[in-house]
Amino acid sequence: MGKNKLKKFAEIEQLECVLQYPRERIVAEGFPFKGEWHSLFGNSNPIVLELGCGKGEYTVALAKRESKKNFIGIDIKGARLWSGAKTVTAEKISNAKFLRTEIENLHEIFDSGEVEEIWITFPDPQMQKVRKRLTSTGFIMRYGGFLKPKGRIHLKTDSPFLYEYTRRLVMKNNLEVKEDTADLYGSGLADPVKSIKTFYESQWLARGKTIKYISFLISDNMNLEEPETEDIEKDDYRAFSRHNPTINHYSSNL
């Protein structure tokens, strides 16, 4: 591990806005704040999660725009969380926190009905691995364990494959759609919250990719079925290089 990553890990250990509970710690200790998140924020405002938050840009921007909600950015990569956590600390943003853990652990971290909304922003579409897809039936049923009744899930993505897959899953299972567009910025739906742009989203837009967005509500009966996907065309590009985000990485066999 590089010295810079080690420095970041040391720093986030000291930041009050960061909780670190990877799987091994949960197994050893449990999670002491399940059902107590409102006490950590010091208010009873709705709790909103961003899954796979990366550097925390979206979490921070959401917290700044919506002061009457509490936001938690979640990622397993501590060196990524560092950037957002430093901003929250420096700017004294009281309604944002970060949680370092695997998304698979969230049912052990949040109590039933403790979360109001979930944002999933530009996740890996996992075109070959359904079980790792953050909008798969398996994950959505897990989310239902801690979302409020009729809790809302937002997906914002550059991936045509993931967008179409999620639309089909929602339709097959009769979940209530709130908003749906294959071109967010050309649809008139891009309000100030949905228009928040991270560094990588700006790169996608500069590349000429349209941003897709769908939001839907969980149902009372969460015995979901997977949709048919064999005819969904695979994305013809990969994510940006971490070292040079202007490089295209094309592949038709992802």
pLDDT of amino acid 9: 74
Mean pLDDT of 133-138: 96
Task: Count Cβ atoms within 10 A of the Cβ of residue 68 and give its class: 0-12 exposed, 13-18 middle, 19 or more buried.
Answer: exposed
Tell whether the model's pLDDT for residue 220 goes beyond 80: no
Integer angstrom CA distances of residue 217 from 25, 55, 94, 179, 190: 32, 27, 28, 10, 19
Concerning whether 75 is annotated as a catalytic residue, the answer is no
Cβ contact 68:139 at 8 Å = no
Mean pLDDT of 164-174: 97
pLDDT of amino acid 2: 63
Please state whether 54 falls in left (phi above 0), alpha (psi between -120 and 50) or beta: left
Report percent pLDDT > 90 for the chain. 80
pLDDT of amino acid 92: 97
Return the number of other C-beta atoms located less than 10 Å from residue 160's C-beta. Answer: 18
Tell whether the model's pLDDT for residue 242 goes beyond 60: no
Mean pLDDT of 64-91: 95
The active-site residue out of 75, 111, 124, 231 is 124
User: Which residues is 118 bridged to in the sheet?
Assistant: 49, 153
CA distance 21 to 227: 33
Tell whether the model's pLDDT for residue 249 goes beyond 90: no
pTM of the predicted protein model: 0.90
